[in-house]
Amino acid sequence: MIPIKSQVPGANLFMISSTDFFYPSVDDPFVQGQIGACNVLSDMYAMGVCQIDSILMILASSLEMDLASRDIVTRRMIEGFSELCKRAGVEVTGGQTVFNPWPIIGGTAMSCCNPNEFIMPVNAVPGDVLILTKPLGTQVAVNVNVWLQSPDKPNWAKAQKVINLEQAYSAYNKAVESMTRLNLHAAQLMHKYGAHAATDVTGFGIIGHARNLVKNQKAKVDFIIHTLPIIYLMDKVDALFGIWKLLEGFSAETSGGLLIAIAEDKAKSFCDELEQLDHQPAWIIGKVIEAQGSENQAIIIQNKFMSKV
């Protein structure tokens, strides 16, 4: 997202906008609609934009479904998307609908802001710490859930070396809770506690987004990630299959948390207050140090601690 300043003489306003869309990752189309909206809004929250002025829906109805199923799935995705937007305090004001082999849901969020209403993600300094507001491992959890529904279940048979049925459903439910939880409170607290920079963690994984963020900092800094909060047992599944590289930080997250650089003396209060508001934990997962080379870098240290959540 790049804020675009108004060209109207005397107006000190910026237009901030973000667009994203998704294929299904969960069983329930209503929940998928919620996830689509939540992820679109997270791009705005990552810049501390708490008031969204407008959101447009991007929708694709599946050509590969029979008419009755298509009607139900499309309608429920719309309802889920709209419900989540209402929870965020914004109405869906329009959008675009097309036909596609797979259903798609997403949108474009927009807000017209004064400079004090958003936080440019460029001001991390040595001595800051890194906070993450949601756990990692959603991609692994939703894939395990898909394996449970496969007719011959070969991958599930292998996965049972490290996880049982109850644990698989628990991980999936935890992932759904995470993916449908707004990052709104975190965005509000970014202003209260003076956050220096942030990004949401989605398709590039924790390390991909950390690297993108650190490269945009004004100061010469490195991000050192020492803790990975992971949905329970998803690291074991990842290690068994070697597909997602979760422990290396590359596993994609859908509607993930915010990765926030903030002064160390404010970090614990931020996490404590966010937990009171969201009833879910946030974690201090790393630190910001002076850059050790000619270019800013983000790394996960090898002696990292794995938090099971």
pLDDT in tens, 121-150: 999 999 999 999 999 999 999 999 999 988
Q: Are residues 174 and 283 in the same domain?
A: yes
72: CB partners within 8 A, 6+ apart: 29
pTM across the whole model: 0.93
pLDDT in tens, 95-112: 999 999 999 999 999 999
Domain that holds residue 211: 128-308
The enclosing domain of 209 has a CATH number of 3.90.650.10
Q: Are residues 259 and 194 in the same domain?
A: yes
- Region for 88 from its dihedrals, namely left if φ exceeds 0, alpha if ψ lies in -120 to 50, beta otherwise: alpha
Of 98, 117, 136, the residue that ends a domain is: 117
Q: Are residues 41 and 167 in the same domain?
A: no
Q: Please check whether residue 105 lies inside any domain of the structure.
A: yes
Q: Are residues 60 and 151 in the same domain?
A: no
Q: Are residues 139 and 19 in the same domain?
A: no
Q: Are residues 36 and 161 in the same domain?
A: no
Report the pLDDT averaged over residues 78-87: 97
Report the pLDDT averaged over residues 44-52: 97
Q: Are residues 90 and 174 in the same domain?
A: no
- Residue 26 contacts residue 33 (beta carbons within 8 Å): no
Q: Tell me how far apart the alpha carbons of residues 245 and 251 are, in angstroms, rounded to a whole number.
A: 6
Q: Please check whether residue 122 lies inside any domain of the structure.
A: no
Of 117, 152, 179, the residue that ends a domain is: 117
Of 65, 86, 117, the residue that ends a domain is: 117
Q: Are residues 138 and 106 in the same domain?
A: no
Q: Are residues 49 and 137 in the same domain?
A: no
Q: Please check whether residue 74 lies inside any domain of the structure.
A: yes
Paired tokens of 12: 């000190």
Q: Are residues 132 and 99 in the same domain?
A: no
What pLDDT is attached to residue 12? 81
Kindly report the average pLDDT of the chain as a whole number: 94
Q: Please check whether residue 277 lies inside any domain of the structure.
A: yes
Q: Please check whether residue 123 lies inside any domain of the structure.
A: no
What pLDDT is attached to residue 55? 97
**Residue 280: band (very low, low, confident or very high) from pLDDT cuts 50, 70, 90:** very high
The enclosing domain of 19 has a CATH number of 3.30.1330.10
Total number of domains constituting the chain: 2
- Residue tagged 């259903």 (tokens): 103
Q: Are residues 109 and 135 in the same domain?
A: no
134 by Cβ neighbours in 10 Å (0-12 / 13-18 / 19+) ranks as buried
Q: Please check whether residue 274 lies inside any domain of the structure.
A: yes
